[in-house]
Structure 1
Amino acid sequence: MTARIGVVTFPGSLDDRDAQRAVRLAGATPVPLWHGETALRGVDAVILPGGFSYGDYLRGGAIARFAPVMETLIDAAKGGLPVLGICNGFQILCESHLLPGVLTRNAHMRFRRRSQRLRVENSATAFTSHFDPGQEIVIPVKNGEGRYVADEHTLDELEGEGRVVFRYLDGNPSGALRDIAGVTNAAGNVVGLMPHPEHAVEALTGASLDGLGMFTSVIAHLGQTAAAGS
Structure 2
Amino acid sequence: MAKILVIEDNNEINHLIADLLSESYHVAGAYSGTEGLLLFQQESPDLVLLDIMLPGKNGDQVLSEIRKTSQVPVIMLTALGEKRLVSEYLLNGANDYITKPFDDDELLARVMVQLRHFRQESKADRLRPVKNIVVDMANFEILREGESVRLGKKEFEILTYLLAHPNQIFTKEQLYEAIWKESYLPGDNSLNAQLSNLRKKIAVLDSEEEYIETIWGLGVRLAGDQR
Shorter chain as normaliser: what TM range? 0.3 to 0.5
TM-score (norm 1): 0.40
TM-score (norm 2): 0.41
More helix by share: 2
